[in-house]
Amino acid sequence: MALMQSGQYAEAAGLLRPLVDVDGAGSSVQLNWVIAMMHMGETRMASAALQQVVAEAPGNPVALNLQGIQHRRAGAFGEARASYEQALRLRPDYGMAHINLGILCELYLAESDCAMHHYREFQRVAADERPRVGLWIADIEQRQALR
């Protein structure tokens, strides 16, 4: 985890890879490997591994959120939305799914009300302050006032 937090994804992936195939390793090991691979641009391997995690643990909101990110990057916006919404049905206070759904709604679907709702939900549930989210909300409010 320290390697990933410091941006050393290749090193982290190298340490995680042998653990991914161990029986009972758990989805958290697999998801951390997927995250490292995504950061390294290894989209195909990350996607295949993530599909396996989602199939084995369909109630894992972190996996569904990552699946949403992959769908969004592939231009599959409806599938991305469905993944984020499923993650939020499972864990309504999952801030990352709220922020990702807000971004999807604002930038890709042009649904400012949806974006505003999820940005506000992110602010409500997030443990850390992200001032830029407040700026995004203010921007949407300003644009809505001009209509």
- Residue-wise pLDDT tens for the chain (147 aa)? 899 999 999 999 999 988 887 766 678 888 999 999 999 999 899 999 899 899 988 999 999 999 999 999 999 999 999 999 999 999 999 999 999 999 999 999 999 999 999 999 999 998 777 889 999 999 999 999 998
Which CATH number covers residue 117?
Answer: 1.25.40.10
Same domain, yes or no, for 63 and 110? yes
Instruction: Supply angle C-alpha 40, 42, 47, rounded to 5.
Output: 125
SS3 of residue 127 by DSSP: coil
Domain residue limits at 19: 1-57
Same domain, yes or no, for 64 and 46? no
What is the C-alpha to C-alpha distance for residues 115 and 99, in angstroms, rounded to an integer?
A: 8
Same domain, yes or no, for 69 and 30? no
Same domain, yes or no, for 73 and 89? yes
Q: What is the count of structural domains for the chain?
A: 2
Same domain, yes or no, for 113 and 51? no
Q: What is the pTM of this model?
A: 0.88
Alpha-carbon Rg for the chain, nearest whole angstrom, is 16
Contacts by 7-16 with C-beta closer than 8 Å and gap 24+? 7/39, 9/36, 9/37, 9/39, 9/40, 10/36, 10/40, 12/36, 13/37, 13/40
